[in-house]
Amino acid sequence: MSEAIEGERTFVDKFPEEARLVRAAMLGSFLALTLGAIFGIIQTLHRTDVFRGLISSAEYYTSLTAHGVFLALSFTTFFLVGLFTWAVVRSLDRPLLNIKITWTWYGLMAAGMTMTGISILAGFTDAIDMSADVLFTFYAPLQAHPLFYAGLAVFIVGSWIAGADWFRTWLAWKREHPDERIPLQTFMVLTTMAMWYIASSAVAASVLIFLLPWSLGFIDQVNPTLTRTLFWFFGHPVVYFWLMPAYLLWYTVLPKIAGGRLFSDPLARVVFVLFLLLSTPVGIHHQYLDPGIAEGFKFISMTNTMFLLLPSLLTAFTVVASVEYGARQRGGTGLLGWLTELPWRKPEFTGMMLAGLMFAAGGFSGMVNAGMNINYMIHNTIWVPGHFHLTVGTAVALTFMAATYWIWPQISNKPIYSRSIGLFQVVLWFIGMALMSNAMHAQGILGVPRRTAEPEYAGFDYPAGFGGFEELNIQIAIGGTLLFLSTVLFIGNLVLTMGNPKVSGLAETLPPALSGPDDAPQVLDNLRLWVGIALVLVVLAYALPLGAIISRGGLLGPGVGTYPVWLIPAVDALANVPTLLVSAAGDAAAVLAEVGR
């Protein structure tokens, strides 16, 4: 085969088995997106009192749980594993070591999310004695059916095996290329998974040691503050677990679509190292109003959180510089005139750019969330979901949908059914989210609570008028409806794409960065070093707070002690170990002395 023909081969031509897995993962992701969108529009119309004919106010919380779990966990993670498989195989230019292992972790993740999903959806019927109305933040004292926790455990284990699969593939490549730098996309995948292993260890411990045994009746109670803290140990870095795949696309694919190249490979590596180091030791900033955590620990967490602005600002600079370079390569001139030369008619480009713009707005509202004093004003108000609808709901979701318009032809050899529909869809999402999120932020400042089907307190009316509660409700309802319609367009466009015949000539390559990996210090590729520092930072941030929580409230709650009663004999035995060892050593010394005589 000639070099010219070889250069035209798509990902599916070169790696058909891996492409099949990528398609399966993305389709699983889009199934979760569909379910999440359905529950999203139902709860939006119910909460705003526009239409309440589908669910009761009690079932609102089942719908809210389904919306959060299907979108924040299932949609994001399934897309991630598909994207990361594509990125590792493409950048290393080699297949995965054992495709059977690959399908095993995919099967585990699918089975786990199915178990969790069944436990949630069963809450809509009284025919099944099962429910899991614990919301996305599934810490105590709310309790779900054991199937919910068991499914989450299986899902997380599947994601761990996925990471191991990619690490094994990289190590095999490294043995064949000992002197080469880690390819950028693979580097991004490995650092993201290293962060995931650290962050998800806490929620896995919470589920397996506390929540699952508690739901099964093996233990009578748990320490709510402890399970809450373990959740937020995971709950904030999981935001970056969602975002880092979007960053991978912004850094490596968006410049190509813009007609240019990545501005700086070294800066991209620095950003991902910073996310690995800084994402986890900040979760306590979600617990500013928790009475069981000392104010000093909260202040430290606030300070750590502010450092996360650095990789985001570096990303803004690098991505915009890369896009500007592409525009100027296309003939763009002037201070801002180059913007007109960008490929705005391409849905993959416009969607990612609008997602980045929304992420900037989310960063500003996130600084409010992170500040201890001003956070008190918006804590537990609808401002908070307004914020994360800008981050995961747009920066992540819109990037994933936009990127699909570019990646899907590479993994299927089928062109997108309609790029015009795709362009309209991404713009519609942006408009819908601008309306809904803006209104959520404004209502949050008014003190409107989150996580409730009835946002008005008894005997209290919000002030009427333009920009008041009722008018903002209309904005939320309109925005939510536009988001749902955008989702329908996306799924419909993809389904029609799958019906297209296969064609040739769809191959795309990613050009090297202007400043390549050779310009980056070798230490950036030392993953062991960065993982070690990340673990030290986590210990420094959490050892004392967790110790204080357990000391004050017990491992399983007040009155139980710092460990379960059934462990007392084992603890007492361990306490006697030093005495027994000293006694045994004395006896041994006496015997040796006797023998020496």
Tens digit of pLDDT for each residue in 500-543?
999 988 888 999 999 999 998 999 999 999 999 999 999 999 99
CA 317 to chain centre: 23
pLDDT for 231-286, tens place per residue? 999 999 999 999 999 999 999 999 999 999 999 999 999 999 999 999 989 989 98
> What distance in Å separates the CA atoms of residue 269 and residue 62, rounded to the nearest whole number?
41
Is residue 3 pLDDT above 50, yes or no? no
Which residues are paired to 449 by β-bridges?
381
**Average pLDDT score over residue span 303-324:** 91
Instruction: Confirm whether 387 is a catalytic residue.
Output: yes
CB 188 within 8 A of CB 247: yes
DSSP string, 123-156: GG-SSSS------SS--TTS---HHHHHHHHHHH
Residue predicted with more confidence, 267 or 458: 267
The catalytic position among 47, 228, 387, 441 is 387
The catalytic position among 52, 330, 451, 552 is 451
**With bands split at pLDDT 50, 70 and 90, how would you rate the model's confidence at 555?**
confident
Burial 114-138 (b: 16+ CB within 10 A, else e): ebbbbbbbbbeeeeeebbbbbbbeb
3 state SS for 258-312? CCCCCCEHHHHHHHHHHHHHHCCCCHHHHHCCCCCCCHHHHHHHHHHHHHCHHHH
Phi/psi of residue 6, nearest 5 degrees: -60, -40
Residue 4 is predicted with a pLDDT of: 42
Helices (H), 52-96: 60-68, 76-92
Q: Which residue has the tokens 């297949």?
A: 95
- Taking each helix axis from N to C end, the angle separating 397-412 and 237-252, rounded to the nearest 10 degrees, works out to 50
CB 469 within 8 A of CB 462: yes
**With bands split at pLDDT 50, 70 and 90, how would you rate the model's confidence at 464?**
low
CB 63 within 8 A of CB 40: no
The catalytic position among 155, 388, 400, 430 is 388
Question: Is pTM, for the whole model, over 0.85?
Answer: yes
**With bands split at pLDDT 50, 70 and 90, how would you rate the model's confidence at 553?**
confident
The catalytic position among 23, 46, 228, 236 is 236
Is residue 7 pLDDT above 70, yes or no? no
> What distance in Å separates the CA atoms of residue 82 and residue 18, rounded to the nearest whole number?
9
CB 47 within 8 A of CB 89: no
CB 229 within 8 A of CB 287: yes
Half-sphere exposure of 283 (CA within 13 A, CB side): 31
Residue predicted with more confidence, 220 or 561: 220
DSSP string, 463-483: PPSTTSHHHHHHHHHHHHHHH
Instruction: Confirm whether 23 is a catalytic residue.
Output: no
Q: To the nearest whole percent, how much of the chain has pLDDT over 70?
A: 90
- Look up residue 200 and give its amino acid: S
**Average pLDDT score over residue span 146-168:** 97
Q: Which residue has the tokens 């290329």?
A: 177
Domain 10-563 top-level CATH class: mainly alpha
Residue 335 is predicted with a pLDDT of: 87
The catalytic position among 67, 450, 484, 490 is 450
The alpha-carbon radius of gyration of the chain (Å, integer) is 26
Task: List the structure tokens of 395.
Answer: 């920066």
The catalytic position among 67, 90, 389, 441 is 389
Task: List the structure tokens of 489.
Answer: 């367009």
* The Cα angle at residue 287 between residues 283 and 291, in degrees rounded to 5: 140
Half-sphere exposure of 370 (CA within 13 A, CB side): 20
Residue 197 is predicted with a pLDDT of: 96
CB 29 within 8 A of CB 79: yes
**With bands split at pLDDT 50, 70 and 90, how would you rate the model's confidence at 5?**
very low
In total, the chain counts a number of residues equal to: 597
Instruction: Confirm whether 240 is a catalytic residue.
Output: yes
Is residue 387 pLDDT above 80, yes or no? yes
Instruction: Confirm whether 20 is a catalytic residue.
Output: no
Q: Among 191-195, 323-327, 334-338, 460-464, name the one with the lowest average pLDDT.
A: 460-464
- Look up residue 149 and give its amino acid: Y
Residue 595 is predicted with a pLDDT of: 45
Instruction: Confirm whether 328 is a catalytic residue.
Output: no
First to last CA, the chain: 86
In angstroms, the Cα distances linking 447 to 47, 363, 383, 508 are 15, 21, 9, 49
Q: Among 21-25, 149-153, 271-275, 366-370, name the one with the lowest average pLDDT.
A: 366-370
The catalytic position among 138, 240, 272, 359 is 240
Is residue 562 pLDDT above 70, yes or no? no
Instruction: Confirm whether 388 is a catalytic residue.
Output: yes
**Average pLDDT score over residue span 380-389:** 92
